[in-house]
Amino acid sequence: MRVVSVVNQKGGVGKSTTVMNLASIIAEHSRVLVVDVDPQRSVTMWATTADQQPEDRQLAFDVVSETDPQVLTQLRSLDYDTIIVDTPGNLQNTDVLKTVVENSDFVILPTEPAVLALLPLISTYETLIKPSDADYRVVVTKVDSRSLSDATEAQEMLRESGLLVCKSYVRTYKVHERAPMVGQVASNYESNQNSEKAAADYKDVARELLSIWANKDQG
């Protein structure tokens, strides 16, 4: 069992989008729970919309809303293979964030590639992740398809700052933006070229993370 939290104190960088799409892909092979720690309840509402969809579009994983730090320390006792925790994107609730990170086996740090977004990410890393000793990877998201060098430049800059960064990254697609409104996730996107490319980005990220976790398991 593995607890994975998705953290960045900067808002709007793709945390909730990453949580739901990775959960949908990992749930194709194992039991997954998403825990929504964000008082805005974005992923809880997303899951409620998914519940109203036809049978073949139902989520293959569970979603619960929970902000009580006491409960968050007990996640490991739950009967799932992977628990993915979505966290709020602001500088309040630092105590809850600390509890979440301390009780995680792995932290995913999504960030947009813009330089001005990298600075708050590095600050989240310094204040929350580094002191906790948790293993982590940065995932660059919301990359403009017309300017893919933004992604590689951001990855390079982060690596030069000493951070661990996933090779795979996530491009910006309308289908990701619309997904919460229609209760969709990457595992059940319609089959057209753009949706398949959008889903493929998250499949690549999932594959890379699963391989990192498998290597850790082997010691």
Binding site for ligand ATP (CB under 6 A): 11-17, 38, 42, 89, 141-142, 170, 172-173, 176-177
Distance from C-alpha of 212 to C-alpha of 108, rounded to nearest angstrom = 12
Shortest Å, Cβ 89 to Mg ion: 6
Beta strands 32-36 and 62-65 are parallel
Residue 189 touches which of ligand ATP, Mg ion, none (Cβ within 5-8 Å per kind): none
Shortest Å, Cβ 208 to Mg ion: 22
Q: Name, in order, each residue with C-beta under 8 angstroms of 163's C-beta and a sequence gap of 6 or more.
A: 122, 125, 138
Shortest Å, Cβ 99 to ligand ATP: 18
Q: What is the DSSP annotation of 33-46?
A: EEEE--TT-HHHHH
Distance from C-alpha of 128 to C-alpha of 50, rounded to nearest angstrom = 32
Closer to ligand ATP by CB, 19 or 32: give it.
19
Among 8, 18, 21, 42, contact with Mg ion (rule: CB under 5 A): 42
Residue 17 touches which of Mg ion, ligand ATP, none (Cβ within 5-8 Å per kind): ligand ATP
Closer to ligand ATP by CB, 156 or 177: give it.
177
Closer to Mg ion by CB, 42 or 99: give it.
42
Name the percent of the chain in helix, strand, coil, to the closest 5: 50, 15, 35
Shortest Å, Cβ 40 to Mg ion: 7
Q: Which residue is nearest to ligand ATP (CB)?
A: 89
Shortest Å, Cβ 86 to Mg ion: 6
**Helix pair angle (193-217, 15-26), 10° resolution:** 80
Site residue total, Mg ion (CB under 5 A): 3
Starting at the earlier edge strand, list the strands of the sheet with 135-140. Answer: 62-65, 32-36, 82-86, 2-6, 106-111, 135-140
